[in-house]
């Protein structure tokens, strides 16, 4: 019998998870939330288990396989420029929509009272700590971790990336006999990690089913209603970014048909959607772009970097959320304040980790920067999870577009 393709299996799991979450959640007919939680956790654990060795081996092999120092610098610069540019465009898209539709104003009055801005409990605050950046400068400090093993165990990818980049760079300076041993070793580790990724993906449909059913059973749909306008604006801006901004770039610069590319990336996008973690999705993203012919030397450099520093969906969300709260408080939002929001959203989106709800801490930083109480964050929590699922998929989409675009430009450069 022909096996159903994995992305279809994941999609079916996703659809089934909604009624399952409603009828078999903690308040449903039978409480199966423990089972959902187990299925989801085992899948997430397995993904997280792969991430550190995969990132390290991907970057080391990627960098050490780049033929010249000039090639390395050129690709690095292009990648970073692409990431900054698309994040900036994403933020602007959000900013324009939030200014036009003003979700924080209801019938001409700031929505503060209607929304009953609630404060966060100490427990919620402590759960958020360590997921994002407390200060903007810590982004730079994280690039040089004092202890790489601690960075690895805490999932501080930025530090691991710096270390792996330098490590890979110096492999190329070794004498021939040491160099070939190192190259063989790291290429082997990388292949092993891809093999393990394939294995883990076989349980993806069950993991997705557990994760989404649990979310549905916990959040429900009623609580989403009051914040619907805010959520719809975020969704519209995210869709615009995916189907217009990045698709145009993918088509014109990456020489790829956006819908074809989206189909090739469907497994990664669905995994991002259900795990809300771009770091955990990285193995899938690498697999997806490899299938459409992006060479390893590009994907292994561009994608781990992207999963860490390129978060278009996150940047967009941070901007819309901060503007929404400012509107709800009835603030007179000056140009200067909007500029601050844009810049801080850009910087913090580089620094937040690719894990669920990481944006929330970044939003606190923005609120502080413009002088609003961070208790307003309680408001966002209600709709955060479903929006997190979407923005994470957008983060992963933009990373994968980056891989195609950088690959096309590297090709044209080497053909010249």
Residue ranges binding ligand ASP (CB under 6 A): 276-278, 311, 314, 352, 354-359, 388, 391-392, 395
Token digits for 335? 């140009």
Q: In this complex, which beta carbon is closest to ligand ASP, that of residue 32 or of residue 347?
A: 347
Do residues 95 and 318 touch, judged by C-beta distance below 8 A? no
Q: How far is the CB of 320 from ligand ASP (least distance, A)?
A: 12
Q: How far is the CB of 60 from ligand ASP (least distance, A)?
A: 23
Q: How far is the CB of 391 from ligand ASP (least distance, A)?
A: 5
Q: How far is the CB of 268 from ligand ASP (least distance, A)?
A: 12
Q: How far is the CB of 48 from ligand ASP (least distance, A)?
A: 12
Find the radius of gyration of the CA atoms of the chain.
21
Q: In this complex, which beta carbon is closest to ligand ASP, that of residue 183 or of residue 280?
A: 280
Q: In this complex, which beta carbon is closest to ligand ASP, that of residue 111 or of residue 389?
A: 389
Count the helices and strands in the chain (H runs, E runs). Answer: 20, 2
Tell me the β-bridge partners of 122. none
Cβ-based neighbours of 370, under 8 Å, separated by 6 or more: 322, 326, 331, 337, 340, 341
DSSP assignment of 263-292: HHTHHHHHHHHHH--HHHHHHHHHHHHHHT
Q: In this complex, which beta carbon is closest to ligand ASP, that of residue 132 or of residue 205?
A: 132
DSSP assignment of 170-227: HHTTS-HHHHHHHHHHHHHHHHHHHHHHHHHHTTHHHHHHHHHHHHHHHH-SGGGGGG
Q: In this complex, which beta carbon is closest to ligand ASP, that of residue 384 or of residue 410?
A: 384
Q: In this complex, which beta carbon is closest to ligand ASP, that of residue 134 or of residue 184?
A: 134
Q: In this complex, which beta carbon is closest to ligand ASP, that of residue 215 or of residue 409?
A: 215
Any long-range contacts for 167-172 (C-beta under 8 Å, 24+ apart)? Answer: 167/60, 168/59, 168/60, 168/61, 168/62, 168/63, 168/64, 169/63, 169/64, 169/72, 171/60, 171/63, 171/64, 172/63, 172/64, 172/66
Do residues 84 and 308 touch, judged by C-beta distance below 8 A? no
Helix axes 377-415, 359-369, angle to 10 degrees: 110
CB-count exposure of residue 150 (10 Å: 0-12, 13-18, 19+): exposed
Q: How far is the CB of 98 from ligand ASP (least distance, A)?
A: 17
Q: How far is the CB of 181 from ligand ASP (least distance, A)?
A: 36
Q: How far is the CB of 269 from ligand ASP (least distance, A)?
A: 12
Q: How far is the CB of 315 from ligand ASP (least distance, A)?
A: 9
Q: Which helix (H) or strand (E) holds 105?
A: strand 105-106
Do residues 328 and 185 touch, judged by C-beta distance below 8 A? no
Q: In this complex, which beta carbon is closest to ligand ASP, that of residue 182 or of residue 395?
A: 395
Helix axes 6-23, 266-275, angle to 10 degrees: 20
Q: In this complex, which beta carbon is closest to ligand ASP, that of residue 304 or of residue 354?
A: 354
């Amino acid at each position: 019998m022909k096996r159903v393709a994995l992305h279809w299996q994941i999609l079916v799991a996703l659809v089934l998870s909604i009624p399952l979450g409603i009828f078999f959640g903690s308040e449903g007919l039978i409480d199966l939330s423990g089972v959902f939680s187990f299925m989801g956790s085992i899948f997430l654990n397995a993904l997280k288990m792969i991430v550190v060795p995969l990132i390290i081996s991907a970057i080391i092999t990627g960098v050490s396989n780049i033929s010249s120092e000039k090639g390395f610098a050129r690709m690095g610069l292009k990648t970073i420029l692409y990431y900054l540019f698309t994040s900036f465009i994403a933020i602007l898209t959000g900013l324009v929509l939030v200014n036009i539709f003003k979700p924080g104003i209801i019938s001409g009055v700031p929505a503060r009272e209607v929304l009953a801005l609630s404060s966060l409990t100490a427990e919620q605050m402590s759960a958020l700590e360590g997921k994002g950046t407390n200060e903007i400068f810590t982004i730079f400090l994280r690039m040089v971790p004092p202890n790489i093993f601690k960075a690895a165990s805490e999932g501080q990818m930025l530090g691991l990336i710096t270390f792996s980049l330098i490590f890979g760079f110096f492999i190329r300076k070794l004498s021939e006999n040491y160099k070939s041993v190192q190259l063989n070793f790291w290429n082997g580790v990388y292949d092993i990690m891809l093999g393990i990724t394939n294995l883990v993906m076989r349980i993806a449909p069950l993991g997705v089913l557990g994760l989404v059913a649990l979310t549905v059973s916990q959040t429900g749909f009623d609580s989403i209603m009051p914040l619907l306008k805010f959520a719809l604006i975020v969704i519209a801006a995210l869709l615009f970014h995916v189907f217009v901004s990045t698709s145009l770039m993918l088509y014109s610069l990456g020489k790829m048909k956006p819908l074809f590319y989206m189909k090739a990336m469907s497994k990664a996008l669905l995994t991002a959607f259900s795990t809300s973690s771009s770091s955990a999705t990285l193995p899938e993203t690498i697999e997806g772009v490899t299938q459409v012919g992006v060479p390893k030397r590009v994907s292994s450099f561009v994608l781990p970097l992207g999963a860490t520093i390129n978060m278009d969906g996150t940047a967009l969300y941070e901007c819309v959320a901060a503007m929404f709260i400012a509107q709800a408080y009835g603030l007179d939002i000056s140009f200067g304040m909007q500029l601050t929001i844009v810049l801080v959203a850009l910087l913090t989106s580089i620094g937040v980790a690719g894990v669920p709800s990481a944006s929330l801490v970044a939003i606190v930083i923005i609120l502080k920067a413009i002088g609003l109480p961070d208790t307003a964050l309680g408001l966002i929590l209600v709709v955060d999870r479903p929006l997190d699922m979407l923005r994470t998929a957008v983060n992963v989409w933009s990373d994968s577009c980056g891989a195609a675009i950088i690959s096309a430009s590297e090709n044209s450069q080497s053909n010249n």
